[in-house]
Amino acid sequence: MFKAWGRGGGSGDRGGSEGRTTKAVGDDAEARALAHLQAQGLTLLARNYRLAGGPRQRGAEIDLICRERDGTLVFVEVRARRSAGHGGAAASVGHGKQQRIVRAAQHYLLRFDRLPPCRFDVVAIDGGEIAWLRGAFEA
């Protein structure tokens, strides 16, 4: 069973319109990111792939798992901010978050007999600007 945990709920510089939940804003950002990636030729394999945590370990989630035309698996973290202030959306993917994404990706890869090439990308949405950072970090 997966533990229930969401996209936060703090009052940071996340999100968009007043009155919308952080989850709704995050879902919209993921939909925008997915549309952008699909327009570039990627195929969606999974969305919101979750791995439960343990007593001393936080759970992990991969927002989008896609496949490039050449077969490369792409694990995508989507981040959205109202503006690029405070480092912007891309800067919010810190080391701890990267480690959790890598752990979830390792779990996802257990289904393969032969490991395909893989990459970790970030789609950063700052206001209306979308940036696709290929190979944003390494495992």
Residue type, 128: G
Q: What is the pLDDT of residue 127?
A: 86
Residue 84 to residue 98: CA distance in whole angstroms:
20
- Name the pTM for this structure: 0.81
Number of neighbours of residue 70 by Cβ within 10 angstroms = 8
Q: What is the pLDDT of residue 101?
A: 95
Q: Which residues contact 139 (CB under 8 A, 6 or more apart)?
A: 102, 105, 106, 118, 120
Q: What is the pLDDT of residue 96?
A: 92
Q: Which residues contact 36 (CB under 8 A, 6 or more apart)?
A: 123, 130, 132
Q: What is the pLDDT of residues 32-90, one digit of tens each?
A: 999 999 999 999 999 999 998 888 888 899 999 999 999 999 999 999 987 766 678 88
Q: What is the pLDDT of residues 4-47, one digit of tens each?
A: 333 333 334 444 456 678 888 888 999 999 999 999 999 999 99
Q: What is the pLDDT of residue 110?
A: 96
Give the domains, in start order, of the chain with CATH numbers: 22-137 (3.40.1350.10)
Residue 2 has pLDDT above 50, yes or no: no
Question: What Cα–Cα distance (Å) separates residue 134 from each residue in 1, 58, 95?
Answer: 32, 26, 17
Residue 139 to residue 119: CA distance in whole angstroms:
8
Q: What is the pLDDT of residue 86?
A: 67
Q: What is the pLDDT of residue 57?
A: 82
